Each structure stands twice: as structure tokens, then as C-alpha cells.
Amino acid sequence: MTSTLAELVAHFGGELVGDGDVSIRQVAPLDRAAADEIGFVSQSKYLSQLADTRAGAVILPADARDATGLPRILTANPYLYFARVSALLNPPPRPPAGIHPAATVAPDAEVAADASIAAGAVIGSGARIGARSVIGPNCVVGDRARIGADCLLHANVTLYHRCEVGDRAILHSGCVVGADGFGFAPDEGRWEKIPQIGRVLVGDDVEIGACTTIDRGALEDTVIEEGVKLDNLIQVAHNVTIGAHTAIAACTGIAGSTRIGRHCTIGGAAMIFGHIEIADGTRISTNTLITKSLPRAGTYTSALPFSEHEVWQKNAVHMRNLDKLVNRVKQLEKRLNELEGKS
């Protein structure tokens, strides 16, 4: 689809400078944009790229009004504006409504008439699929599971029994929601399984990345609140709560019964211990290990920057000897205090 600049401004707001009849077919980076495409600049350090771009129009911050003679839309948040234009010009393909003949749907499942169930999908007994939701090929929706309206489950998603997903959620290929939490009781050198009888409750507008796993609660529910964004390959253990609009990058691991607040951001490969609480608005850097509760919002970092291997080896030796060094310093301080007391 295409849209004129004037139509974009009518739809999303902003201030139009230049020819509003310029037609835009697609979004593109400035260095590769063509005459029927629109680019954006969100930071002043990239304004120099405007001199060489072949874009038909650009999206700029309001204080960059005179940075180019190209038709432009001025807005307080060019990056967000660009994302909205991209979504408008690139609507996701939607399969036709109905149940594919190669799908398996339990007789007592409730599937909205305008939902789409693809080939190979299995919808369990008592499950409910909401209006306009799309269930991709080979997905499994367990017994008495619930999926709200306007959801999209890409191929090979598994939603276990009794788990629930709100409206407008997106679950990417291979993610598993509701597998058993890692619960075992020791018994004379063996492990006895603890039944995981809770559920996973996923709120509205949540997106779950490919191959991410969210375990069901042991007794109570695992809860993913509204607007949460989870990247690929994340492990969320049983009884975790993730607060609304928190975003977590790939390969993060969250141990059981942890409560993560609202509007947090967690970098990739972070590791978070269980049975702790993290305050609303907290930022955790990539590769950071969180071992105790964070009651105050802030930015927390524990990862060491890389170094040449030989340097790292020397520093590792020093790290091993830190306890000895601390004891020597204490002894020296004690001796110094004794000498000062005699003088």
C-alpha cells in the first residue's frame, strides 16, 4: 500500500513541511532509500546523512526543521513515528477465517467464527479461541486454554492446558507457555516430581519471542502482565511475575518466584535469582547477575568488559587472591593504629 505525506500526518499527527502530495510506498534507511520511500533521523549526529539520501521524504525532530530541503514530517519522537508509518505500510498477512481441514479441533472447543486455525493445529477440549485470532500451523492449544481476540500464534507454538492469553498478543514460533516448572523433592538420592498445578496468565498486548519458555506455577500462577515484551530464548521459571510494559532481551534467565516490576528493561543474557523482587522502572544491563532484591529503581550492572586473554589471566589471579590481600591490609591497618597509639 502507499500513502501521501498529508495522509500520514492526518493519521499520526506531526507537522508537515513541503509537498504533502509526495507518495510513500515503503520505509527505508537513509543510505538506501529511494524516491518513493521515507527515512528518519532521531539523533542530531545522523543529520549529516541527509545530504546524500535519495529518500522522497524524511521524519525529523522538531528542532531539525532546516536540516534538509526534502519534504519532511517534524515530530517529538521520530523513531516512534517511523515505527507507526512502517506498521501502516506493512500490515501483517492474514490468512482466511475458518478451520483448515487438516486441523484437529475438539468438539467442545469454542472457536470464533472469524478466527483462523491452520493446518496441523490442535485445539484441545474446552479451549477457547477469540475473535479474529490466528493459530498458525502445528500449534497446540491445550485443554481449557484460553486465547483472546486479535492474537497471532506463529507456527509451532505450544500453549499448555488451562493457560490463558489476553487480547492482541503475539507468540512467535517455538515458544512454549505452560510447561512444568522445575520442581523436584529429594528422596534418598533420588528426585520425586512435584506436580505443577498453577497456570500461566499472559496479559493483553504481550509479545513472546521465538523459543522462549514460560513455566506454569507450582501452586499459584506465573503471571505476565499487559504490554510485556519478551525476546527470543528467554527462560521464565514457575511463579514468576513480570510487571506491565517490562521489556526483556534474549537469553535472559529468571529463576522461580521472582517478582519483576513494571516498566523495567533487562538486557540480554542477564541472570536473575529466584525469590527476589525488582522495583518498578529498574534497568538491568546485559550479562548482569542479580542475586538479591532491588528495592530501588536504578541501573544495575555486573558484567566485566572483555580484555586480551593474557591480561584477563593476570586479573583472574588477582581476583583469586583478593581475600588474602584484604586480610593483609587489615593487619597493616591494625599495626599502623598500634604504632600511632604509641607515638
CATH code that applies to domain 98-300: 2.160.10.10
Q: State the Cα–Cα distance between residues 275 and 291, nearest whole angstrom.
A: 10
Q: What percent of the chain has pLDDT over 90?
A: 94
- CA-nearest of 157, 111, 117 to 135 is 117
b/e sequence 38-50, b meaning 16+ C-beta within 10 Å = bbbbbeeeebebb
Average pLDDT over residues 301-324: 91
Binned at pLDDT 50, 70 and 90, residue 342 comes out as: confident
Name the active-site residue from 11, 154, 172, 238.
238
Q: What is the pLDDT of residues 236-292, one digit of tens each?
A: 999 999 999 999 999 999 999 999 999 999 999 999 999 999 999 999 999 999 999
Annotation: CATH topology of 3-89: 3.40.1390
Residue 64 has pLDDT above 90, yes or no: yes
Cell for 241? Answer: 511475575
pTM, to two decimals: 0.91
Whether 245 is catalytic is no
Q: What is the pLDDT of residues 140-166, one digit of tens each?
A: 999 999 999 999 999 999 999 999 999
